[in-house]
Amino acid sequence: DAGVIQSPRHEVTEMGQEVTLRCKPISGHNSLFWYRQTMMRGLELLIYFNNNVPIDDSGMPEDRFSAKMPNASFSTLKIQPSEPRDSAVYFCASSWDYNEQFFGPGTRLTVL
């Protein structure tokens, strides 16, 4: 199994631009999680899905952030418009129900 796949691995953009991060979970997993990691705030859960349905999005910082899971093999996290304070490493993780989570390699986002 290839594990959780995230793309792009690195993204540099300018303030105000739209950013889309992508995640392919491990085949057969039905739960998907989006996290953000910064030095100041550590690792934070943004949103998670179970069977493609958002269960808890209380960690999404504001309306500029949105996440979708159109099917069991794909999810996106979109930031529009992006701001410098959104610079962070964004991790996607998947699991079977609420068992151990498998994390992807992360997307390092830099907003100038």
Partner 1 sequence: DAKTTQPNSMESNEEEPVHLPCNHSTISGTDYIHWYRQLPSQGPEYVIHGLTSNVNNRMASLAIAEDRKSSTLILHRATLRDAAVYYCILRDGRGGSNYKLTFGKGTLLTVNP
d(CA 44, CA 66): 15
CA angle 41–43–45, rounded 5-degree value: 110
Contact criterion met (CB below 8 Å) for 67 and 48: no
- Determine, following the binding rule CB under 8 A, whether residue 56 of this chain makes contact with partner 1: yes
Q: x/- site string to partner 1, residues 62 to 101, per CB under 8 A?
A: -----------------------------x-x---xx-xx
Query: What's the min distance (Å) between Cβ of 68 and partner 1?
Result: 19
Q: Which residues here bind partner 1, judged by CB under 8 A? A: 4, 33, 35, 42-45, 48, 50, 55-56, 91, 93, 97-98, 100-106
